[in-house]
Structure 1
Amino acid sequence: GITSSRWYPSEGMTLKHPCVGLLQGAVIWGKAQEMLVLESVLKSMPDVTFYWAGDGPYREKILAVLGKYNNFKWLGPLQYPDKVREYLTEIDVYALVSGIDMSPLTLQEAQLMKKPVVATNVGGIPELMKNNETGFLVEKGDANGWIEKLSLLINDEQKRKTMGGEGRKFVEENFNWNKIAKEFLEI
């Protein structure tokens, strides 16, 4: 479960817009390696800045490929939850580019911050969002899918607002502690 009251707009960070935010570690290569699909995305979307907040032993492998693009910025790890809240307040779209993932909390947090999400269709990710309602799922390795879905959201502010609002509602209704505890007790 997640406490939705902890996730509210918070000022303090200024980013260049339009922008896409990534909030993920580089601890497991099977997860982090998928970020390399962004090389094609960065080339195709030169006017969009991609900010990566996170760290890990595979950081240098990621930065060796993506760091050479002017529209890719590494922010390092962010203090939780205050700086994460400021970051999620400021971004236009949240992207979770992962090779494997079970239940990424960042996906729920981004939706609680009313951000539309684009995520890799792996593991438990499809259960944590509603494809075409709170954001979009993209198949693993599909650079063109990333370009299509991110461009759609970057270029349509109303769609971002609508999907972002639906995302908060979806997480509040499905992942609040009361619902999780009730379901657990019914087992």
Structure 2
Amino acid sequence: MGLRVLHVEMGRHLYGGALQVFYLLRGLAERGYENILVCQQGSRIQDLARGIARIKPIECLGDPDPRLLWHLLTIIRTEAPDIFHVHSRRGADFWGALAARLTRARAVITRRVDNPEPVWMARWRYGSFARVITISEGIKKVLMREGIPEEKISCVLSAIDVDHYARQADRGWFAREFSISPKELAVGMVAQFIPRKGHQLLVTAARGIISRRKDVRFVLCGRGPLEKEIRDQVVRWGLEGHFIFAGFREDLPRVLPCFDLLVHPAFMEGLGVGLVQAAAAGVPIVATRVGGIPEIVQHGVNGLIIPPGDVRALEEAIMELLNDGPKRKKMARAGRRIARERFSLEKMIEGNIKVYESLIHSR
């Protein structure tokens, strides 16, 4: 039996971070590691992780809920894990840091977002962990600016099951599923409806795009608190005939290859697993130069990179690719290559294992 690893992932849904944890749990189990998973009662990962981890479901309200600390202290002392790995930020990073200090466990935290923190908070939080894993070089740079020593940070890129997304587009199904004519071009966006993802910018840019091309439909996949506001904006500007709100889709491997283009006008982004999925699916991408996005989208290779917040640049980049089918095909091939070379599950799993083993051998 390999190392015993206690994981903490408190997300309810299988968004990017929780999906990465599932992939890691599965890969570790295949390699003989013993996984213990602390997760939210009733969460999606609780169901998926059965058989690859011993589940410790708990009820927790997030950042202000001190019950998480009590649960973590009890489980760490009972299970005596070789590695204590904190994955999510729904209170887990704060209470997990305190639990690590109180138990002196070999503790690792994965940082998935690139938003800056006060220096004192970053140093206290990450000072509790023996190692910080970032999912992009962009996040690593943020932590270093906050005073976290470079030698304490390991960059392990997020990953996907590339073969799961590299499939033939079923455009007949896509047309029926979303009521899109086969002659129309589909521009997708896959993101939670939250301010930093930039949905408002896309809707604003869409006004100009639709005035120049009537054969474009925008398919927005995801849920979130801003969804009603974005829907209202679309209706207010008379664009509802060109927008489809598709909700949270668990069939993205089937949906993504059918997009002609994926757009991600984010203001902040740790990496953007949805962009890796799109690249693997052979979809050219228009995205902003923030966080870890340039580690996925290479300007002029598998997509176009624009400045954040620049609506005019967003409109022109989308139009450039919509008007150039051969360029889109060339970028599609490049995207598949980049996804396979840089973002494989094997590399992500082995990267985490390397961190674990370095901590075991350092004592």
Normalised-by-shorter TM-score class = 0.7 to 0.9
Preserved CA contact (<8 Å) 1:94 1:117: yes
- Number of residue pairs matched? 181
Other-structure match for 1:170:
338
The residue correspondences of 1:25-174 to structure 2 (distance < 5 A) are 25-26=192-193, 28-29=194-195, 31-32=196-197, 34-46=198-210, 47=214, 48-67=216-235, 68-69=238-239, 70-78=241-249, 80=250, 83-174=251-342
- Report the counterpart of residue 164 of structure 2 in structure 1: 6
1:23 aligns with 2:184: no
Paired residue secondary structure (2:300): coil
Write the distance in 2 (CA, Å) between the matches of 1:116 and 1:38.
16
Which residue of the partner structure matches residue 347 of structure 2?
Answer: 179
Gaps of 5+ in 1: none
**What displacement does 1:39 show?**
3.2
Per the normalisation by structure 2, the TM-score is 0.47
2-structure distance, mates of 1:66, 1:24: 17
TM-fit CA distance, 1:100: 1.4
Which residue number corresponds to residue 146 of structure 2? none
Percent sequence identity over matched residues?
24
Structure 1 stretch displaced more, 120-129 or 152-161: 120-129
* Structure 1 counterpart of 2:17: none
Structure of greater Rg? 2
CA deviations 1:79-126 (Å, max 9, x no partner) are x2xx21222122100111222111211100001010100112211111
Decide which moves more: 93-102 or 164-173: 93-102
Conserved 8 A contact 2:287-2:297: no
Residues 40, 59 of structure 1: alpha-carbon distance in 2 compared, 3 angstrom cutoff? closer
Cα deviations by residue, 1:34-54 (Å, 9 ceiling, x for unpaired): 211123321111122111111
1:182 Cα deviation after fit = 4.7
Is the 1:101–1:125 contact (alpha carbons within 8 Å) kept by the matching residues of 2?
A: yes
C-alpha RMSD over aligned residues: 1.8
**Contact 2:191 2:222 survives alignment (8 Å):** yes
Name the aligned partner's letter for residue 40 of structure 1.
T
Is the deviation greater in 56-65 or in 161-170? 56-65
TM-score if structure 1 supplies the norm length?
A: 0.88
Which structure has more relative contact order (CA 8 Å, sep 6+)? It is 1
